[in-house]
Amino acid sequence: MVWTGGTKVKALRLWWQQYTTSETMGVSLVIWLCSLVVIGLVVTPWLGPQIAGVVALGLLLMLLAICWGVCIVQVVRKGKNP
């Protein structure tokens, strides 16, 4: 495939627009990172480090599922990538 200068700019512009308008994954990651402190301070002393790890992993998977659900709804509504 031969890329012309205009095509590169359009592709880069499209990627940047999709990247900056889809902040759902970033918000999910920030929520998870902030919740790790709470998990470390509350769950670990009561239930132990193994259970805290399971809770942290479970929370991450739950947030990813919610994020993917939001993205799928956006794709269906807009008819394009979020």
**pTM value > 0.75:** no
**Given CA atoms 73, 68, 59, 25 in this order, what sign does their dihedral have?**
negative
Q: Residue 29 is inside which H or E element, if any?
A: helix 24-38
pLDDT at 71: 75
Which residue would you say has higher pLDDT here, 72 or 2?
Answer: 72
Residue 77 pLDDT exceeds 90? no
Q: Quick one: DSSP state of residue 80?
A: S
For the chain, domain boundaries: 23-78
